Structure 1
Amino acid sequence: MTIVILTALLGIGLILLLLEILFIPGTTVVGIFGLLVSLAGIAYAFLNFPPEIAWWITAVATLLNLAAVIYGFRSGVWDKFSLKSSLKGGTFDERTVGVEVGMSGKAISDIKPIGKALINDEVYEVKSDSGYIPVDSILTIIKVETNKIIVK
Structure 2
Amino acid sequence: MPWLTIAMLLLFGLLFVAAEVIFIPGTTIVGVVGFALLVVGVWMGYRDLGTPLGHYALVGVVLLAGLIVYVGLRPKNLARVALTSVNNASVDDVRRPDVAPGTVGHTLSALRPAGTVLFGTERREVVTRGEFVASGTQVRVLIIEHNRIVVAAA
TM-score w.r.t. length of structure 1: 0.66
The amino acid that maps onto 1:43 is W
Q: Deviations over 1:101-152 (max 9, x none)?
A: 2233333432111123343354433221251122343322211345432211
The separation in 2 between residues aligned to 1:8 and 1:119, in whole angstroms, is 71
Question: Matches of 2:121 and 2:54 in 1, distance apart?
Answer: 84
1:45-124 correspondence runs (5 A) = 45-47=45-47, 48-50=49-51, 54-74=54-74, 76-84=76-84, 86=87, 88=89, 90=91, 92=93, 96-97=97-98, 99-120=99-120, 122-124=122-124
Amino acid at match of 1:104: V
**C-alpha contact (below 8 Å) 1:112/1:133 kept by paired residues:** yes
Rounded to whole Å, the distance in 2 between the matches of 1:103 and 1:3 is: 83
Conserved 8 A contact 2:112-2:130? no
Distance 1:58 1:129, change over 3 A: same
Kindly, what percent of the aligned residue pairs are identical?
25
CA gap of 1:5–1:104, structure 2 versus 1, over 3 A, is closer
Distance 1:112 1:45 in 2: 78
Unaligned runs of 5+ in 2: none
2:63 counterpart letter in structure 1:
L
Cα deviation for residue 29 of structure 1 reads 4.2
On the 8 A contact 2:17/2:31 being kept in 1, the answer is yes
Amino acid of the structure 2 residue aligned with 1:137: T
- CA distance in 2 between counterparts of 1:81 and 1:9 reads 28
Structure 1: which 5+ residue stretches go unaligned? none
* Cα distance in structure 1, aligned partners of 2:46 and 2:24: 31
> Which one-letter code corresponds to 2:139 in the other structure?
L
CA distance in 2, matches of 1:118, 1:9: 69
Larger deviation: 138-147 or 25-34?
25-34
Give 1:27 deviation, angstroms: 8.4
TM-score (norm 2): 0.65
Aligned: 1:20 with 2:20: yes
- Pair 95,119 (structure 1): closer, same or farther in 2 beyond 3 Å: farther
- How far the C-alpha of 1:43 sits from its partner, in A, is 1.9
Count how many residue pairs are aligned between Structure 1 and Structure 2. 150
C-alpha distance in structure 2 between counterparts of 1:17 and 1:121, whole Å: 57
Root mean square deviation, CA, Å:
3.7
Report the CA distance between 1:65 and its aligned residue. Answer: 1.7
